[in-house]
Amino acid sequence: MALRLYFTAVATFCWCGLIVAAGAEDLPPRALAAASAGPLQAAGPTLAARPPESTAPMLIHVRVSRRLIAPLFEREVIREIKLDEQILDTRVRGTSRTVGATRLVLIPDPHQAVFDVVFGGHSTAEAQGTNEWVVAPSRTLTSLAGQARIVYDGHQLRAFPSQGSARARIQVTSVRPRRAGLLRRSIPGGFIERAGWRQLDRTLALREQIVARRSVARLRRFLDRELAAEITNSEFPQQLVAALENVGLSSQQVKVSSSSTALHLALQWPDSPAVPGGIPPPLQDLDPDLLVCIHQSAVDRLGQRLLAGALLNQGGISRDGRQILSSEALPAQLQLTLDPVHPIGIRFVDGLLDLTLNSSHCSLIETPLPGFGVHMRCRLQPTEAGLRTELVGLPRVTPYGPHNWSLAMIPLKQMVERALASHFADRTLTNSVWQIGKLDQPALRPTYANCEHGWLTLAWSRQVATPVQSLVADQATR
């Protein structure tokens, strides 16, 4: 149950995608040359001031691979626009077509998650430049590069001003004199044409630089506008803060880092004893898209905060009138009041999940009865539908608290044990229960589950589509 609430917070770390597109408007003049608007620099700084590192143990670890995040950001870009601009003494009208793609780059940082959304592409413009004396059709090819940085430090998402660069190459196909007025008709056309070519030769590099600078400005405005909109619309930081506050924690206890291949999240637990070994056991020959490792002491502490004094009945677990977990494990008319000090015990050992629930007292058909403890052991098995619980042995109901049991409690003990055995013998925790559906990854399936050395390790991977599946999916989106 406590794991379910935690996964609600975990799933929010994989956020909505950014649609990045760019258009470059280009201009005319003569044969081949090149101009650049400057090199592409780093998209944004990292945070300067670092708070002192906490010594609290890390009891929850989450690793989200780049493969899982990248599809939210990476896409092809095609954009067509009309041109109508003034470049020096020339009015330019035509069309521009930009083709490119965005990709996600994770930047290694031990103190925060750093993402660069990188755009690369080119723009092709067919235009006609006109001034007082000549008309010059042209074709312009502009290479474009843009980069925008997003940083998440565990408290907020921040987007830094984007950077961009462009390089324009202009080819003028012809220069034709404009026939207008008595003065122009009296000047030979060849003279006007040669003068036009000479003027273009002298100003071509400057025109290309102007094209490149304007293309970069448009690209940066677009990236900054899109990132600002995504940050504003993102509910992720607020959802995480709310989920942590529900269990008495804060975002100050979230440690975030990134490597070139994954985003890493760890939850520090204040006032907790050191964890033997300190880190989860390594996975051999396994590189999942989503990996979650939870220490048993974290679930214990979460359970104590959430379940102390809670009511457990056929409808599930509730506390202070609020439903915490829906279930149908207990017989009708039976209600347990969980112990206010030690309501739950969790152990991850020998590949099994060892669960104990302790009740201070209970009632059956409104008849007060002594409390008892419920102990179960189960194994988690990954399946296509989710994680299936496989009960190992029968549940045990034992006395708990200072009261001794009478013979009248034996039928109740047997009834509860049968009900739990029936409920947990073969139960599937679906994706909706584990909140994995919030990742917008419908092909994400559990592929690994293990309980060893006090750690519960769960892994999910995306199902690789076969060529036939890919074709059907592509046709379905058209």
Tell me the mean pLDDT in the region 191-207.
Answer: 84
- Give φ, ψ of 41 to 5 degrees: -100, 180
Sorted by where each starts, the structural domains of the chain and their CATH numbers stand as 22-45+76-233 (no CATH), 273-467 (3.15.10)
Q: Is the pLDDT of residue 423 over 80?
A: no
Distance (Å, whole) CA 409 – CA 415: 10
SS (H, E, C) 336-354: EEECCCCCEEEEEECCEEE
Question: For all residues of the chain together, what is the average pLDDT?
Answer: 76
**Which of 17-26, 63-72, 273-282 bottoms out in mean pLDDT, i.e. has the lowest?**
17-26
Token duo for residue 282: 């390594």
Q: How confident is the model at residue 190 (pLDDT cuts 50, 70, 90)?
A: confident
Collapse the DSSP code of 298 into the 3-class scheme (helix H, G, I; strand E, B; otherwise coil) and give the result: helix
CA distances (Å), 451 to each of 168, 263, 353, 378, in order?
59, 23, 6, 10
One-letter amino acid at 94 equals: G
Q: How confident is the model at residue 13 (pLDDT cuts 50, 70, 90)?
A: very low
Half-sphere exposure of residue 250: CA atoms within 13 angstroms, side-chain side: 2
pTM of the model: 0.73
- Give φ, ψ of 117 to 5 degrees: -95, 115
**Which of 84-93, 142-151, 227-236 bottoms out in mean pLDDT, i.e. has the lowest?**
227-236
Q: Is the pLDDT of residue 95 over 90?
A: yes
SS (H, E, C) 218-266: HHHHHHHHHHHHHHHHCCHHHHHHHHHHHCCCCHHHEEEEECCCEEEEE
- Give φ, ψ of 101 to 5 degrees: -155, 155
Collapse the DSSP code of 290 into the 3-class scheme (helix H, G, I; strand E, B; otherwise coil) and give the result: strand
Q: What is the pLDDT of residues 424-456, one digit of tens each?
A: 777 766 544 344 544 555 567 788 888 888 888
Half-sphere exposure of residue 331: CA atoms within 13 angstroms, side-chain side: 16
**Which of 30-44, 117-131, 179-193, 359-373 bottoms out in mean pLDDT, i.e. has the lowest?**
30-44
CA distances (Å), 438 to each of 80, 308, 453, in order?
34, 29, 30
Instruction: Kindly state the percentage of the chain with pLDDT values over 70.
Output: 72
Q: Is 76 exposed, middle or buried (0-12, 13-18, 19+ CB in 10 A)?
A: exposed
The pLDDT value recorded for residue 34 is 38
**Distant-in-sequence, close-in-space partners of 52: CB < 8 Å, separation ≥ 6:** none
Distance (Å, whole) CA 90 – CA 473: 49
Collapse the DSSP code of 191 into the 3-class scheme (helix H, G, I; strand E, B; otherwise coil) and give the result: helix
CA distances (Å), 465 to each of 232, 469, 474, in order?
34, 6, 11
Q: Is the pLDDT of residue 86 over 80?
A: yes
Q: Of the spans 18-27, 239-248, 298-307, which averages the highest pLDDT?
A: 298-307
**Distant-in-sequence, close-in-space partners of 188: CB < 8 Å, separation ≥ 6:** none
Tell me the mean pLDDT in the region 319-337.
Answer: 77
The pLDDT value recorded for residue 17 is 27
* Residue 119 near residue 223, CB atoms below 8 Å: yes
The pLDDT value recorded for residue 402 is 66
